[in-house]
Amino acid sequence: MNSKDSSARGRLNVAIVGAGFMGRAHSNAWRQAPKFFDLPLDVSMAVLCRADSARAQEAAELLGWESSESDWRNLLTRDDVDLIDICVPGALHADIAVAALNAGKHVLCEKPLANTVEQAEAMAEAAQRAAARGVQSMVGFSYRRAPAIALARRMVVEGKIGRIQQIRAGYRQDFIVDPNEPLSWRLEKDKAGSGALGDIGAHLIDLCQYLADDTITEVSGTLETFVKRRPLAAPGSGLGGRQAAEGYGDVTVDDAAWFLGRMSQGTVASFEATRFATGRKNELTIEVSGSAGALRWNLEDYNVLEYYDGSEPAVESGFRRILATEPDTPYYHAWWPTGHVIGWEHGFTHQVVDLVNAIASGESPRPTFAEGLSVQRVLAAVERSAASRASWTDV
Amino acid sequence: MNSKDSSARGRLNVAIVGAGFMGRAHSNAWRQAPKFFDLPLDVSMAVLCRADSARAQEAAELLGWESSESDWRNLLTRDDVDLIDICVPGALHADIAVAALNAGKHVLCEKPLANTVEQAEAMAEAAQRAAARGVQSMVGFSYRRAPAIALARRMVVEGKIGRIQQIRAGYRQDFIVDPNEPLSWRLEKDKAGSGALGDIGAHLIDLCQYLADDTITEVSGTLETFVKRRPLAAPGSGLGGRQAAEGYGDVTVDDAAWFLGRMSQGTVASFEATRFATGRKNELTIEVSGSAGALRWNLEDYNVLEYYDGSEPAVESGFRRILATEPDTPYYHAWWPTGHVIGWEHGFTHQVVDLVNAIASGESPRPTFAEGLSVQRVLAAVERSAASRASWTDV
Amino acid sequence: MNSKDSSARGRLNVAIVGAGFMGRAHSNAWRQAPKFFDLPLDVSMAVLCRADSARAQEAAELLGWESSESDWRNLLTRDDVDLIDICVPGALHADIAVAALNAGKHVLCEKPLANTVEQAEAMAEAAQRAAARGVQSMVGFSYRRAPAIALARRMVVEGKIGRIQQIRAGYRQDFIVDPNEPLSWRLEKDKAGSGALGDIGAHLIDLCQYLADDTITEVSGTLETFVKRRPLAAPGSGLGGRQAAEGYGDVTVDDAAWFLGRMSQGTVASFEATRFATGRKNELTIEVSGSAGALRWNLEDYNVLEYYDGSEPAVESGFRRILATEPDTPYYHAWWPTGHVIGWEHGFTHQVVDLVNAIASGESPRPTFAEGLSVQRVLAAVERSAASRASWTDV
Amino acid sequence: MNSKDSSARGRLNVAIVGAGFMGRAHSNAWRQAPKFFDLPLDVSMAVLCRADSARAQEAAELLGWESSESDWRNLLTRDDVDLIDICVPGALHADIAVAALNAGKHVLCEKPLANTVEQAEAMAEAAQRAAARGVQSMVGFSYRRAPAIALARRMVVEGKIGRIQQIRAGYRQDFIVDPNEPLSWRLEKDKAGSGALGDIGAHLIDLCQYLADDTITEVSGTLETFVKRRPLAAPGSGLGGRQAAEGYGDVTVDDAAWFLGRMSQGTVASFEATRFATGRKNELTIEVSGSAGALRWNLEDYNVLEYYDGSEPAVESGFRRILATEPDTPYYHAWWPTGHVIGWEHGFTHQVVDLVNAIASGESPRPTFAEGLSVQRVLAAVERSAASRASWTDV
């Protein structure tokens, strides 16, 4: 717990842009991090920015920010803003992030880094330039910070599973299985960039590269849209609103994506990202198979890491179910006694903790924008491969 | 989310007594409740009370309370305190709670209600008198507020599992399996009241009575202390400190308790509360078997409710694994999209939400002190039964 | 596989008494054992005995026996019968077994050994006398021969879980939850002896004593009959026949039994045997918790043994799921390659294998009749305890 | 059970070719089928054929066949052979099957149907010609006869899961993860035809087409050999023998295969067949996702079918674990009471039952050779696709 003399410490003034689902999750993380972890800087939740000023003020009060803004450009020149946390849709990431970094603000940017490789490249370049001036950046692949995943990574690094030969990853949801589910922005390419591939497949790619400590160099991919036309949502109805307006519109993104990736060390990874796995709500699973053991995680079973120790005699071996809630489990010392489980949102809190620590120590936080760009390039290569009959395609 | 005009609303000033494990969990709940739920009152985290004034101030800052006190009696006369949240060890509950209620303060009291039936009776009487004056009280059996448990209760009330015939409940931990684990206050009767029985068995009794909507009227119980002497902990070492002082001391509480209860409607419930279930970290399971179906929950698998629907044809029937994270799941609308799981601490937040709503509406919150007393009486009856060779004993 | 020269080997002529559920399972075992295991004797399935001679002949043909008899007494004097396998209801066990042993025939007797302690004592005495003359006997607690259980026993003996402190066992079925399920012989005390206690609880007691290598010395027990009167089955309708005759009859056995046992080394074991666990079809679970680890088995998950190794660092420990189908798994070398699972009936085959090996080597097979008597005494003590308000009662 | 007058019934004289792993499994099935099922023909296990005559005789005795042969051609002219069951390696299937069918013998042929598409085509043509003369043939994809799979198929046909949109199938083993595991015939293309793809992937393809009642029309596939050279096994050491001779040899088949298939109705199916999934012994899983529900099976959990009923309200829905051991479960009436589980070998027994019934009724048994050919064509298309950089390739 926080026991240092705060008067002697530096301060980190944070601004957030966006107040949707991710804005809520990030705000929670900024509120919670200093309550549970001993941070090296005093974090101040200075300002929330949202396009409409009345709604910005309302959101700031609700989510715990001291003030509000309606134009993110104003944040760039404010001396009382040290870090900008970007929680708006992907199409806006590049403009804000590049401007912020150029203005000397640290940046935390939600995943995926951008909607296009070009944008992501510009961001990674800006990040590299900024880093030279001590300005840090991080992309928000928060699943890296689930304690079970952080433990898995530690075990991989320690050699517990040997050389990684294959990885099997899936992110399976079912929220649009019903063909009467109306068209929404998430199903239109010009707004969402891509469908299951970019939305949830991006998480798989990052986890795969993180756990294997390696990069995907070529891919073979296929995209599928099972329901090609959907009823238009009635004006004013939100996502999931069932009062369809007259008429139907085209679904222009993928409902599901399957792809293989080869990594530079020879690992083959298989991926499925789908919104059509009936009965699966948010099932992200990843199994990493090495020459000396294996590890498996399921997001829905957040606190559990499965581990197969290949050095045990076969007659007594099997996957063990580790409840990743021990004092020695990464991040867990700050929470509750053993066995008192935590949830999805805590990964965002850990992300803030690691980011603040990196800023205080002057080290580059991970995942870097370069890592975010790497994910983006894999996504783009999958799309190119899909457009050429699944042919293996360089990243 | 909170959309009402807060200027038109009442205010609820809260004081907390205690800053240990439970003080941390309750503080988190008071901070989080207004951020995620639309509360009918403006909650103010006014004061934290802890015996040592420097440490009280430090804890207040860390946990988010506006001010601190070192003597809980001072809270009784403060006009800016409407509710006292009691998070100190059980031996102190009665004094504080009775005084607070008599002073017109609402009370939230951690479980178990007290260390003795006599104390609990005094508290329940004070609560009843206070209720007549609109002063509310609640005992903190927070597992009732796990979404999966609240859903289970709703399904029982709707008749989904018919008449309940038997219940199987267990709370299994293993933190003192090692005989070299030193003696601590938790293992001494004069400090802890009882061992596994009161500490974790109390949760089982409350869940059983809550889910069955019935009370246990007689019990047969057995207590066991497997390791009867343990090394003394070195002075200054905390719970779990391994630097043993010279010598050994007697363990004066139960390591494990097994008991049966008969309920007024004929249900038979079996219970195991143990600290010697090697490999089980915090495994609270309860299975409720009815004439038309069954329900099962495991605390370590917090977001899952298992349900057997006896009306299905046998050939297609089986326990189904409900991921209790839907918009219609109790409490869940306030959190995240489907499948983004929550954790143990959230039950405390829901407890605060329900308490604040009850206070605003003038209704009596549950579990009442009378319900807490009922649990206490069952615990006492188990001890009497154990002292008479497990003979069935009236509660 | 069987590679020895059979001409040089002895012969074992087997007779079976009974052709019901157990007669079918035992016949299968006698047929299969020589096909998969290299037995030291040539087994001949000589004769099947059943009360009605036409039905006896029919059953013999169907189940693979060379001839038939209608009176078991005739088996005693036949030179071509070396072993009598008793598969009739418990009330008849003692007469047949004692006569068979006295006549110099080896005996395999289905569990429970008898319906009363007195009968079981007579049988154990006869077995002891017979053993002195090289005539062997065995009681059919076949779950000892599930590969996962045999592996568990081996691990206990090797010290893998240290000193056993507590055991949790349950045998949970639901086939009479429906109150309209008619009365059957299984629900009448004069025919069945007892209900869930003797039928399925006996298995738990034997497994507990086997895995712990210890005996239960005192018990506290409670019996319950949830549905006290049931419709009479129409004449001629079998078990489960739903055409109720007019009128109702009393259920005179227990629907469920709960009991605790203390073992001579200090282990406390808890037991639940019930026919009212809605949704549970044949769920026999046993978890053995020791000072250095734990083991768990579930009959419905026949090939899996769960193991917790307490010597692992906590942060990486957890119950592992051993698929007990390796060449080194007890009994498994004779079956299929790793991962090609076997089922419930195979335990009976292994029982035959062990019995034939014991007979050939002149060693006493286990479980002995003395062990069967021990189970019987525990059952009787549970009934006595239940009759004295669950008071702890010596076995 | 078998209650008909056998004298009035026809006879079916069976010959088996091969006495290895599959010969043992098929022999067991022929022995067991008439003991548990009421067959319309009297099955006679007439002759076992194996290349070496001494070993043929030994195997015949051990496995329960009345006589032996050392040349399968001799079977063709024997009047006392009605059916030939082919259990030799795939390279020999075509010659034997075509000759047998031409000679008027019914044929059961182990999977895969053949090592090449050309052979399989010849076999399917022979089967079609033979069928016109009342001579039946069947390919041994025995997993269709697991009760849980047969139940799944029934539920699909009844519309329980609606229109099938995607299927996820994997067959994962780990027996050659160790790079020191020596080269064996299974790892040489000229002997085994292919590696994981043909050996275990073939099962996935058949199950997929069977459950979806549809055929795969195009594929995209990738093959990988992780360990490209392995130590040579010492002469005389069996499969898995570790005494390596001097030197290393090339692995010429795939260690793992991943492929996608599109079916004629629009379903997309993904497949993984691997021998490098560390910790997975024999994990065949298939999940079928439809517009109204989903089904999932795991071979290692043989008796369980998981089912998601999409018509349930979301708040109470979830995958249910059906223990497929009810009297109404396909095939299960013949075995044991509910909850007494069966194993892998039983699927072969059911295969025999269905085959004998088809022969007696004159109906064509399934899977037909045409279905076996269909699997073969998919395998070949996967290899072609893999050779053209995973490009989508017509079957």
DSSP letters for C211-264: HHTS-EEEEEEEEE-S--EEEEEPTT--TT---EEEEEEE--S-SEEEEEEEET
**What is the share, in percent, of chain B residues with pLDDT greater than 90?**
90
Q: What is the mean pLDDT of chain A?
A: 94
**Strand intervals (E) in C83-145:** 83-86, 106-110, 137-140
The tens digit of pLDDT for each residue in A125-138 reads 999 999 999 999 99
**Strand intervals (E) in chain C:** 10-17, 41-49, 67-69, 83-86, 106-110, 137-140, 164-172, 216-224, 229-233, 244-250, 256-263, 268-274, 283-290, 293-298, 304-309, 318-323, 393-394
Residues 6+ apart with CB under 8 A from D264: D214, D215, D217
C261 → chain B, closest CA residue:
B222
How far away is chain A from the Cα of C342, in angstroms, using its nearest Cα?
16
> Is residue B1's pLDDT more than 50?
no
Task: Round to whole Å and give the CA distance between A15 and A107.
Answer: 10
Q: Is B364 exposed, middle or buried (0-12, 13-18, 19+ CB in 10 A)?
A: middle
Cβ-defined contact of C317 to A322 (cutoff 8 Å):
yes
pLDDT at D241: 45
Contacts of A228 in chain D (CB under 8 A): none
Task: Round to whole Å and give the CA distance between D375 and D351.
Answer: 18
How far away is chain B from the Cα of D307, in angstroms, using its nearest Cα?
8
Cβ-defined contact of B314 to D328 (cutoff 8 Å):
yes
Q: In the structure, what pLDDT confidence band is assigned to residue B297 with cuts at 50, 70 and 90?
A: very high
Q: In the structure, what pLDDT confidence band is assigned to residue A146 with cuts at 50, 70 and 90?
A: very high
SS3 per-residue string spanning B83-143: EEEECCCHHHHHHHHHHHHHCCCEEEEECCCCCCHHHHHHHHHHHHHHHHCCCCEEEECHH
Measured between CB atoms, which of A335, A338, A344 is closest to B340? A344
Mean pLDDT, residues C204-210 taken together: 98
Cβ-defined contact of D300 to C58 (cutoff 8 Å):
no
> Is residue C235's pLDDT more than 90?
no
pLDDT at A8: 64
> Is residue C5's pLDDT more than 50?
no
Contact (CB, 8 A) for C17 and C85: yes
The tens digit of pLDDT for each residue in B343-394 reads 999 999 999 999 999 999 999 999 999 999 999 999 999 999 999 999 999 9
Task: Round to whole Å and give the CA distance between C348 and C63.
Answer: 15
The tens digit of pLDDT for each residue in A324-368 reads 999 999 999 999 999 999 999 999 999 999 999 999 999 999 999
Domains and CATH numbers, chain A: 7-143 (3.40.50.720), 147-301+303-342+365-394 (3.30.360.10)
Measured between CB atoms, which of A165, A270, A278 is closest to D272? A270
A170–D contact, CB cutoff 8 A: yes
D62 → chain C, closest CA residue:
C35
Contacts of B346 in chain A (CB under 8 A): 343
Spatial CA neighbour of A102 closest among A121, A68, A76, A72: A76
Cβ-defined contact of A323 to B303 (cutoff 8 Å):
no
Q: In the structure, what pLDDT confidence band is assigned to residue C184 with cuts at 50, 70 and 90?
A: confident
Contacts of C321 in chain A (CB under 8 A): 318-321
**What is the share, in percent, of chain D residues with pLDDT greater than 90?**
90
**C-alpha angle B129/B130/B136, rounded to 5°?**
135
Q: What is the mean pLDDT of chain B?
A: 94
Spatial CA neighbour of D365 closest among D101, D121, D149, D127: D127
Mean pLDDT, residues C225-230 taken together: 96
> Is residue D5's pLDDT more than 90?
no
Mean pLDDT, residues A204-214 taken together: 98
Contact (CB, 8 A) for C349 and C29: yes
The tens digit of pLDDT for each residue in C89-148 reads 988 999 999 999 999 999 999 999 998 999 999 999 999 999 999 999 999 999 999 999
Mean pLDDT, residues A260-279 taken together: 98
B39 → chain A, closest CA residue:
A62
Tokens of C225: 């009959």
DSSP-derived secondary structure letter, C190: H
Which string of b and e fits B154-187 if b means at least 16 CB within 10 Å?
Answer: ebbeeebbbebbbbbbbbbbbbbbeeebbbbebb
Contact (CB, 8 A) for B119 and B93: yes
Measured between CB atoms, which of A170, A278, A289 is closest to D310? A278
pLDDT at B2: 39
Contacts of B299 in chain A (CB under 8 A): 339, 341
Mean pLDDT, residues C157-186 taken together: 95
pLDDT at A280: 98
A174–B contact, CB cutoff 8 A: no
Task: Round to whole Å and give the CA distance between B94 and B84.
Answer: 13
Probe site for chain B from A175, A281, A283, A349 (most B CB atoms < 10 A)? A281
Tokens of A378: 């894999």
Q: In the structure, what pLDDT confidence band is assigned to residue A4 with cuts at 50, 70 and 90?
A: very low
B303–A contact, CB cutoff 8 A: yes
Q: Could you tell me the CA-to-CA distances from C269 to B258, B358, C50, C310 in Å, in that order?
A: 10, 44, 39, 20
Contact (CB, 8 A) for A285 and A298: yes
**What is the share, in percent, of chain C residues with pLDDT greater than 90?**
90
pLDDT at C240: 45
Contact (CB, 8 A) for B15 and B50: no
The tens digit of pLDDT for each residue in B142-170 reads 999 999 999 999 999 999 999 999 999 99
Paired residues of C41 in beta bridges:
C10
Give yes or no for a cis peptide into B365 (omega within 30° of 0). Answer: no
Which string of b and e fits D130-168 if b means at least 16 CB within 10 Å?
Answer: bbeeebbbbbbbbbbbbbbbbbbbebbeeebbbebbbbb
Cβ-defined contact of A293 to D278 (cutoff 8 Å):
yes
Contact (CB, 8 A) for D26 and D86: no
D42–C contact, CB cutoff 8 A: no
Among residues 365-394 of chain C, which lie with CB inside 8 Å of chain B?
Answer: 388-392
**Does the predicted interface ipTM exceed a cut of 0.85?**
yes
Contact (CB, 8 A) for B111 and B139: yes
Mean pLDDT, residues B64-91 taken together: 96
Measured between CB atoms, which of B272, B276, B278 is closest to C308? B278
A310 vs C184, more confident:
A310
> Which contiguous run of DSSP H or E holds residue D249?
strand D244-250
How far away is chain C from the Cα of D204, in angstroms, using its nearest Cα?
16
Contact (CB, 8 A) for D275 and A285: no
Cβ-defined contact of B315 to D328 (cutoff 8 Å):
yes
Task: Round to whole Å and give the CA distance between D28 and D26.
Answer: 5
Scan for tokens 């050389």, then name that residue. Answer: A163
Q: What is the mean pLDDT of chain D?
A: 94
Contact (CB, 8 A) for A339 and A112: no
Cβ-defined contact of B321 to D326 (cutoff 8 Å):
no
The tens digit of pLDDT for each residue in B24-44 reads 999 999 999 999 999 999 999
The tens digit of pLDDT for each residue in A283-304 reads 999 999 999 999 999 999 999 9
The tens digit of pLDDT for each residue in D295-306 reads 999 999 999 999
Probe site for chain D from B158, B307, B315, B323 (most D CB atoms < 10 A)? B315
Task: Round to whole Å and give the CA distance between C32 and D36.
Answer: 13
Contacts of B2 in chain A (CB under 8 A): 62
Contact (CB, 8 A) for D135 and D106: yes
The tens digit of pLDDT for each residue in D55-106 reads 999 999 999 999 999 999 999 999 999 999 999 998 899 999 999 999 999 9
Mean pLDDT, residues C152-177 taken together: 97
Mean pLDDT, residues D140-152 taken together: 98
Q: Position B317: which residue type?
A: S
